[in-house]
Each structure stands twice: as structure tokens, then as C-alpha cells.
Chains A and B, each alone.
Chain A
Amino acid sequence: MQLTTAEAGPSAVCLIVAGRLDTPGVDEIEVRFTQAARGSGKHVLVDLQNVSFVSSMGVRMLISTARALHAAQRRMVLFAPQPLVREMLDTVALDQIIPVASDQPAALGLLEG
């Protein structure tokens, strides 16, 4: 499981995740993911285009990080999920608490909206 960070404009940072967000994958990156999100001081975009699978533990990591950001008046938006991942996120209706966009520009648009 890989995690890298990139700037996404003056008010947002992009966390780029790659691999399987299953239990071992979450164990591998959860601390860094949470630190990168909370420590950025900005809104957070999460790039899922190279994530092949998300388990319930992966969803849990996303929700708990989004909640921590919300407490600091910041937002999280996910974007570019692969079809299987999009299906999973749709089943759990995650977009009711964390927006999901098709690509980075759309994700930035949701932050500004």
C-alpha cells in the first residue's frame, strides 16, 4: 500500500493512495494517512484511481479521518474510484458523508461549492 502527498491548490492537499485498502493495507498506512490529512491544515482530496479494493476497514479509516477534518472545519472529497471500488462506496452510501467525484477538477469544484 502506497501513500504520497501532492499540493492541490492553495486550499487543498491531495493524498494519493495506491494498492489494496484491505485490513493489512489500512494497518500499513492509517497513521501516515491520518497525520498527512490532519497535519496539512487544508482541505483534503483523496485520489483513489490506483486503489483496486476497499474493505470495511478502509471505509472506517476514511470516515474517521473525514470526521477529524470536519471538527477542524475542513472537508474531504474522494475522487476517481475504480468501478469495483465505486460500487462498494455506493453500496455503503458513503457519499452521504464524504463526497465522491469522478476526477480531481470535479473534486476541487465540490470543495469550492
Chain B
Amino acid sequence: MDDTTYDDGSLDDRTIIRTRPRTVRVERQDWVHLLVVVEGLEPGRRFEVGDKPLTVGRKAPCDVLVVEAEVSGRHCELRRKQGSESLIVTDLNSTNGSFVDGLRVAGSTELRHGALLQVGRQVMRHDFMPRHELHASAELDRDLEKAGRYVQSLLPSPLREGPILTDWVLQPSARLGGDAFGWQSLDDQRFASYLIDVSGHGTGAAMHTVSVLNVLRQKALPDTDFTRPEQVLARLNDMFQMESHAGLYFTIWYGVYDRGTRMLDFGCAGHHAGYLVDKASGEVQALHTRNLMIGAMPGARFKVDRVAVKPNDRLYLFSDGVFEIVTLEGVQWGLSDFLPLILLPDMPEFGEAERLHRHVRRVARPGPFDDDFTILVTTFAA
């Protein structure tokens, strides 16, 4: 008989005072330890750490193969710790070290739930979770992957030949991001290019990005001359007010290059400058117009500007996720920290966008970037 129920089945309304809590037994037998790749060759891939130790290295028969020159053949090992939610990481005398949350592993150390293990450029997070959650999470991952592929399919392939060349890198900070970009020929002479950054990242931001991108790709803005940046920004603002789009706003850099006159008309809405660079001379022009972001104020008007483009000038457009990083030393970067990288020499083995990506990746603390990382480099060849 429950101690709050009388013999006649009625309930006692008094609160029973318990001097000691009931013993709660949490069964953790069906929980799993996972290494989840958050950055590297296959983001999202999971490796289970079972009864046997899991080895990580460059060569088979390691369980987790990280095929990078800076990773040792047998680099490190992970095993479960009896009665604990942590794993134990042991560095196997690797040449370049294993790192847990940015600290080099000396011998063995704990890898707690949520901690990051870095081997070479591969960063993996330790997740300790019930097995049934793993299955649900795997299904969600598959859906996110499909969504991510759809977003990627909307992005144009780089232009490798012709009078205008393009190169780009887009790396979402989550499985889906809020950054996007595009370009299109408006007619025989004029070429539009743009970069969009929706507030936040993740699924909501990605959906908003897709809406904006499709409107621009299909030129689906009413009464709009797409060769006029001020009209494009104003119509986007009319169409995408925050109240009607879950409180989301976006920033954009939009420009139209005329090959006949070699003039570039451009406007920014809440976005930092694009940079027109002559690498040979080292000349850098900041292309910026100070306007509110898209969606923040109905009826906003947008200022635009114009600049002359010389043969082989390059236009660098990038999202703020490129420079709003925290370094290995824990220092917050700003735009002025990133800009000098633009003038460093090209590296023939990489495209220009990838060169900059690698520079920033080397400087940043381990793990995914805090925000989506997007760079679009356009070369106006002779």
C-alpha cells in the first residue's frame, strides 16, 4: 500500500517528509562512447569506442584513419575508463602530438564528454550518450546531410577560364550555415556578384539563405533593375523584413561589373567592405557603403558607390566568420587582423580562397569556426 493512500483507497493530502532521498539507479549499460568528427575529412562521421581500445593514425590497421602527413602511423589510442563517463587518450609517442581541448597530451589524459581531441587537422568530439539517442541522431544527420547537399548545389562552380575568374570556399560552422554567394551575367557586358550572410547559422538560417539565394538567382524581385545595386537592396529589404521571417535579418554585398567601361557599381547592406586588390602594386581599396542590414527597417534606402577596375584586379568578398575567430592564444580577431593575409603571395598549389582559409585555420583555436566561413575571390582578367 502506498504510504499516501488510506485503506479505503482515498488519498492522504498531506506531504510526506522524507529525511533521505530515495536511491536512484541510473543504468548506463546501454550508453555509448563516440568520437564524432567535427572538423576534417568527414565531418559528422562517428566512431564508437567499445570494449577494445580504439587506435587513431595514418596507417592501417588503425581504427580511425587520418591520412595526413603530419599524423603518425599509430598516433594515439582511446579506451574506456571503468565506471566513468570519460575516455582515456594515450599519445603513442607521435611526432606532432595529440591535443585535448588545445592542450598537448603528455602520456595519457582524460577525454571528458564534450571535449575535443585533435590529431593533425582532424578534430573529434567525445560524446557519451544513450544508444537510442544515437539512432535518432543518425537519422537527423542523414536529413541534414541531404539539406546540406541541396544548399551546396545552389552554389555556382568556380570560373576557371574567361575574362572573369572566380574561386571560393564556403565552410558552414554547423551542419548547415547561413552564408551563401553567387554571380551571374546580367547581359553581354554586365556581371553581378554577391555574398549573403544571414544572422546566425544552422537550419533556420540555411532555409532563409536558400530563399534569398533563389530570389537573386532567378531575378525574382518585382520592378527591379538588377544592374542597379540600390534597387536590388531596397527590394530585398521590402521582401525580407524581420517580422515576416522569424526575426532573421541578413547582410549582403552586391556589385555589378561592366566589362565595357570597367566600372564596378556596388552597395553593402550591413556588410563590411569588399576589397579590390592589385597584388602587383599592393594597392587595396575598401569597397563599402554604410547601410543598415536587410530586414531591419521597412522602407530603408541604400547608398551605393562606384569604382574603376584595372586588368587583373581581384575582388575579395568574405563573411565575418572569416575574421571573427578566436586564436589558439584565446585572442579575439577582428577585420584588421585578417586583412594583411590578402596581400601575402599566392600559393600555386591552392586557389586563393583556399590559401586564405588555410591561413585562418592555422591561427584559430581547434574545432569548428564560431561562424560560417565564406570567401569569394573574383579576378577581372585583362
User: Do A and B interact?
Assistant: yes
Given the complex of chains A and B, what is the CA–CA distance between A96 and B297 in angstroms? 9
Report which residue of A88, A91, A92 has the largest number of chain B beta carbons within 10 angstroms of its beta carbon. A92
Q: How far is the CB of A88 from chain B (nearest CB, A)?
A: 8
Q: Classify the interface of chain A: helix, strand, loop or mixed.
A: helix
Are A60 and B249 neighbours in the complex by a CB distance under 8 Å? yes
Within residues 94 to 113 of chain B, which ones have a CB less than 8 A from any CB in chain A?
Answer: none
From A23, A64, A88, A97, give the contact of B200 (CB < 8 A). A23
- Chain B, interface SS category: loop
Chain A: which residue is nearest B334 at the CB level?
A: A84
A residues 12-54 in Cβ contact with B at 8 Å: 22-23, 52-53
A96 and B302 alpha carbons, distance in the complex (Å): 12
Knowing A55-B324, A84-B332, A97-B296 are in contact, say whether A91-B291 is a contact too (CB < 8 A).
no
- Residues of chain B with a CB closer than 8 A to A55's CB: 324, 370-371
Asked, given contacts A92-B292, A93-B291, whether A60 binds B199 with beta carbons under 8 Å apart, the answer is: yes
Does B251 reach chain A (CB closer than 8 Å)? yes
Interfacial chain A residues near B248, Cβ < 8 Å: 60
A57 within 8 A of B: yes
Known contacts A60-B248, A63-B249, A64-B242; A22 and B334 CB within 8 A of each other: no
**When each residue 288-307 of chain B gets 1 if its CB lies under 8 Å from chain A and 0 otherwise, what string results?**
00111100110010000000
Verify if B247 is at the interface (C-beta below 8 Å from A). Answer: yes
Evaluate contact between B251 and A60: CB separation under 8 angstroms. Answer: no
- The size class of the interface chain A forms with chain B is 20 to 34
A72-108 to B contact mask, C-beta < 8 Å, 1/0: 0000000000001001101111101100000000000
Instruction: Please tell me the number of chain B residues within 8 Å of chain A, measured between CB atoms.
Output: 27
Interface flag for A56 (CB, 8 Å) = yes
**How many angstroms between the C-alpha atoms of A97 and B334 in the bound complex?**
24
A-B contact pairs, 16 of them (CB 8 A): A22-B370, A23-B370, A55-B324, A56-B198, A56-B251, A56-B320, A60-B242, A64-B242, A84-B332, A87-B335, A92-B292, A93-B292, A96-B297, A96-B300, A97-B292, A97-B297
Question: Which residues in B have some Cβ–Cβ distance to A below 8 Å?
Answer: 197-201, 242, 247-249, 251, 270-272, 290-293, 296-297, 300, 320, 324, 332, 334-335, 370-371
Which residues on A are within 8 Å of B, measured CB to CB? 22-23, 52-53, 55-57, 59-60, 63-64, 84, 87-88, 90-94, 96-97
- Closest A-B pairs by Cβ, 9 of them: A56-B199, A92-B270, A93-B292, A60-B199, A91-B272, A96-B292, A84-B334, A57-B200, A92-B293
List 7 other contacts, CB 8 Å, given A93-B290, A97-B296. Answer: A60-B200, A60-B242, A63-B249, A90-B290, A91-B270, A92-B251, A93-B292
